[in-house]
Amino acid sequence: MAAAIMVQGTGSGAGKSLIVAALCRLFKNAGYSVAPFKSQNMALNSYVTIESGEIGRAQALQAEAAGIPPSIYHNPILLKSEGSSGSQVVVMGKPFKTMTASDYYKNKELFWPYVVSAWEELNNRYEIIVIEGAGSPAEINLTEQEIVNMAVARLTSAPVLLVGDIDKGGVFASLYGTAALLKEDVKLIKGFVINKFRGDVNILIPGNVMITDLTGIPVIGVIPYVSGIGLEEEDSLALGSHFESGDRTGTGVKITVLRLNYISNFTDFHALSCEPGVELVYSLRDNDILNSDLVIIPGTKNTVKDLLFLKETGVSGVLQRAVTQGIPLMGMCGGYQMLGKVISDPDMIESRHREVRGLGFLDAETVFESSKVTLRVTAKKTGGIPFIDGEFDNLDCYEIHMGQTKGGSIFKVRVGDETYMDGESKGGVWGTYLHGIFDNDTFRAALLDGLRAKRGLKQTSTGINYIKLRNDAIECWSATVAKSLDMDLIYSLLIS
């Protein structure tokens, strides 16, 4: 039987996910077998597990921090917003159906058993489980329907740490208000954590004493604001309005990722943003697109809506100008589908359009199907890709998509003993379904060297070791959290 501790927040974006990742690494380093658990996540950044199931990307990062393979048991229910139509509900890694929020909350009895069974599976495997809540536990209109905050704390008998984001302002009011609204469940909260603090921590001491006097709950730590942690964010709101990371001088490389309305899996490009001399921009501005060394159309949870948006706003015309000027254009997953001639949706699975003309840069034709592809794969580059020289085998990737695209000529993909072709290239344009391809160091280095060579810049023989960089970032962040929290108290909560 596992010991458990739960991290909840006063609201979305308080920093729960990264704090859970830090605790997973700290417990792992202390010699415990540890796993993350988030019963229900709502995110468009997802990951394919060892069971070929889909979970939130944050839980994959937390599993990485714990030193274990990501599993569907770490996130049994994933909600992927599709806009006004509701959200696709993914249960134990596989799509269940698209539901409105009202329908979803009315059907708690359908999903709660999956939460219980996933918890029991982890409970029997590990010594410590670090649980993450979602949003705020004080949404009083959802108290009876929620299956991710206090309902899980009660199920698992986990002591709760409540995190407040001081960077947003009003942290003491958020902590006090949350505690007040929880009524009987407030007894489950064993400590407050103040996150993202800038300045002299001594300034907070009077407030910490007062909030403890008012609620009976101690402040067990103040975590400083850390810029450039080096670990990807889960929410697209974290991208800001324009730019994520950059170090582009006159000799650097600029990559623009289109900031689609339904952008998903933007973590595909995190490794690029970590490279020295690379500026990664999320933008739809003409100036960014036309002054890039590479433009990427990313994945999307609503390919048709985002495609029509690009046409209606004139961005498609700007892309045409960019390609005419010789700027390489790449499409990932839904972006790959957009690059083709046509997207067919005969059963209107994604939209009310049975057929939509694509951007026409590639000859690809896509047909949406009701079944969803979620696979972990390895791939070999067999065809030409603009500005990427060399042969690459054993590329570690994964696929998440609803449609099937005819043809395929640039990657030979392996799943067990089966193989098939993926991707298409034409002129300076190429597309693929292979998520995570830029996480492969040699492939990413070849891409960047090709872009540098195109501009007559000096090439680099080696780039970063992305796995090592991530591990170092997890270690550094975990050390910060350990210094900031009363870890003795946390360990005492685990054994109480």
Six-digit token string for 494: 């685990």
Q: Which residues of the chain have pLDDT under 70?
A: 233-251, 460-462
pLDDT of residue 353: 86
**What is the model's pTM?**
0.92
Quick one: CA dihedral 43, 48, 52, 56, positive or negative? negative
Q: For residues 5 and 493, is the Cβ–Cβ distance under 8 A? A: yes
pLDDT of residue 239: 57
pLDDT of residue 237: 47
**For 242, how many CA atoms within 13 A lie in the half-sphere containing its CB?**
6
pLDDT of residue 1: 84
The residues that are catalytic are: 333, 435
CA dist., res. 471 & res. 287, Å (int) = 36
Q: For residue 261, give every residue at least 6 positions away whose Cβ sits within 8 Å of its Cβ, in sequence order, or none.
A: 300, 302, 305, 306, 309
Helix (H) / strand (E) containing 155: helix 150-156
At 316-335, the pLDDT tens digits run 999 999 999 999 999 999 99
CA dist., res. 291 & res. 397, Å (int) = 29
CA dist., res. 12 & res. 177, Å (int) = 15
pLDDT of residue 6: 98
Structural domains of the chain ordered from first start: 3-229+472-495 (3.40.50.300), 252-457 (3.40.50.880)
pLDDT of residue 462: 63
- At what angle are helices 466-484 and 16-29 packed, to 10 degrees? 90
> How far is the CA of 46 from the CAs of 16, 58, 66, 77, 435, in angstroms?
17, 8, 18, 12, 10
pLDDT of residue 245: 45
Q: What are phi and psi of 198, to 5 degrees?
A: -115, 130
For residue 285, with 0-12 CB atoms within 10 Å meaning exposed, 13-18 middle and 19 or more buried, which class applies?
A: middle
CA dist., res. 215 & res. 212, Å (int) = 5
Tokens 């649980």 belong to residue? 131
Give buried/exposed letters for 51-87 (b at 16+ CB in 10 A, else e): bbbbbbbbbbbbbbbbebebbbbbbbbbbbbbeeebb
Other residues' Cβ atoms within 10 Å of the Cβ of residue 479? 14
Distance of CA 332 to the CA centre of its chain: 15
Six-digit token string for 47: 């990951």
